[in-house]
Amino acid sequence: MIADEGGYASVTARWIAGDGHLYDDLWISRPQGIFIAYRLIFALFGTSTEAIRLGAWVAAAATLVVVWAFARARSGPRVAALATLIFAVFVSSPSIEGYTANAEVFMAFPAALAAWLLLRASRRGWGAWPLALSGMLIGLAILLKPSGVVMLPVALLYTWLVLPVTLQSLLRRWGLLLSGLTLALAPALIHGWLVGWDAFIYATVTYRLTEQSGVTASFDHHLTALLTLLGRVWEMLTLIALTLAIRERARLRRGLAWGGARGALQSATRAGIVAPGLVPRRLAALAGDADFLLRLWLLGALAGVAMGGDWWSHYLVQLAAPFALWFAPLVVGVSRGLPRWGRRAFAIVAIAALLGPYWVVIKGDPERMAETLFSHPGYPMQTEVASYLREHTSPGTEIYVAFDQAALYYLAGRPAAYRHMYDQELRALPHAYDDLLTMIRNPDRPRYIVGTRQPGPFPDNARRFWSEVGRYYHLEEMVDGVPIYRAYE
């Protein structure tokens, strides 16, 4: 179980049990949607790691059906079959942690369904229900993962620019979209008011904007994190580059390459990348309504990936659906222009690139796979450490895992002694270090502190923290190399 899953599961379990207050001692910078999703998984499938992953699989499978429906409406059944295959392989890829129950997996379904409904609405006279339901689905996507908000400008731009529209019709479309959005967000806002408006807004909006987002991160951080992300998906990037190169070579050979600034501008407009206001608006629809919507969706998904500023690989899950829909027709078109031997060679390269990240399965053992996939040394030892904590504490005993690995709280079934469970939060919040030092010195200090064998997220690498731990705790056990400290009686 990864840290994100552990945090969601731990907060959900304690919330269900009435053991704490959301956005107070149960604190994660997410709206309520992800906790509702985990609560449904607990009710339908169980509370184990396997059950949580099964819930994520159901969400991904539902998204796959929407990808098929969109691709069929855009390009026909053959391309739809390939698009679903590409989506299935990419969205599950170990390189992007696609097999985990991250929030992006759940958010992708309502986002994709909203896009498909928008496409249907544009082809069937912009009915009220499809538009309102699209707005509701966008609201649901936001509640599951805040970066789902990128679907709102996608919907607003599509309903405006796909075809010429009068002001009255445009206001009607936008009104229906925003009405659906408001209806979806209303329960969350009411709940936020009930639990404490300031705390709710800070956790779900203000914290990310001011402390941990693409705006607050430094250029060096962006560059390093982005290069790391690109390194994790190099196989897919290589395949995309190869496919585009083959397509452009074929265009050049046929003498159909676009030239001149005007041609580039018009092609960008037809793709929906440049605002049609720069050239006659009717050009926006020349490539087709589905193409225009898809390109808006791709740009929105890319913006969603960039919003957090951390460029974590699982952010790419939200890009999987529009990517598969864009890439499948490209592959089919390129394949048709190749000789038989070229198609076979291209197919081999494509399959190798798509399946390349799955090579870790040859490790066989889950612990060995975890050691390969994650740089964090604590992942493979979770089961043993959690078992030790359960055996040596009673339910309700607070523990602290320094300074990450929220999954241990859930697997051990013990509450976190400090509400911020992730090292990024500790690094971002200026008062966090002093809070932890005060927690250790307090007579009600947590019974156990678990080391995760990583440097602390503080300027001194947490040397003061461990110095205080040495004053009030003793090393009780080493479980597979993980130190477990117990407070002096």
pLDDT for 105-159, tens place per residue?
999 999 999 999 999 999 998 999 999 999 999 999 999 999 999 999 999 999 9
Query: Residue 265: pLDDT band by 50, 70, 90 thresholds?
Result: very low
pLDDT at 252 over 90: no
**How confident is the model at residue 471, as a pLDDT?**
94
Q: Give the list of residues 6+ apart from residue 476 with CB closer than 8 angstroms, or none.
A: 448, 484, 485, 486
**How confident is the model at residue 155, as a pLDDT?**
96
More confident residue, 235 or 282: 235
The answer to whether the CB of 320 falls within 8 A of the CB of 98 is yes
Task: Report how far residue 310's alpha carbon sits from residue 212's, in angstroms, rounded to the nearest whole number.
Answer: 8
Q: Give the list of residues 6+ apart from residue 344 with CB closer than 8 angstroms, or none.
A: none
**How confident is the model at residue 258, as a pLDDT?**
45
pLDDT at 54 over 90: yes
pLDDT in tens, 224-240: 889 988 998 999 999 99
Task: Report how far residue 105's alpha carbon sits from residue 99's, in angstroms, rounded to the nearest whole number.
Answer: 9
Closest to 416 (Cα-Cα) out of 42, 1, 29, 6: 6
Task: Report how far residue 328's alpha carbon sits from residue 344's, in angstroms, rounded to the nearest whole number.
Answer: 16
pLDDT at 276 over 60: no
Helices and strands, number each (H, E), in the chain: 21, 4
Burial class, 160, CB count within 10 angstroms (exposed 0-12 / middle 13-18 / buried 19+): middle
Task: Report how far residue 115's alpha carbon sits from residue 56's, in angstroms, rounded to the nearest whole number.
Answer: 20
Structure tokens of 296?
């808006």
Q: Give the list of residues 6+ apart from residue 232 with CB closer than 8 angstroms, or none.
A: 95, 96, 313
| Residue 8: alpha-carbon gap to chain centroid | 13
**How confident is the model at residue 261, as a pLDDT?**
45
- The residues facing 474 across adjacent strands are 486
**How confident is the model at residue 264, as a pLDDT?**
46
**How confident is the model at residue 399, as a pLDDT?**
95
What is the mean predicted confidence (pLDDT) over 56-61?
97
pLDDT at 281 over 80: no
Task: Report how far residue 18's alpha carbon sits from residue 237's, in angstroms, rounded to the nearest whole number.
Answer: 46
**DSSP 8-state secondary structure symbol assigned to residue 255:** T
**How confident is the model at residue 380, as a pLDDT?**
63
**How confident is the model at residue 236, as a pLDDT?**
92
**How confident is the model at residue 273, as a pLDDT?**
41
Q: Which of 82-96, 369-383, 475-489 has the lowest mean pLDDT?
A: 369-383
Task: Report how far residue 249's alpha carbon sits from residue 266's, in angstroms, rounded to the nearest whole number.
Answer: 21
Asked whether the CA dihedral 318, 319, 322, 328 is positive or negative, the reply is negative
| Residue 438: alpha-carbon gap to chain centroid | 34
pLDDT at 280 over 50: no
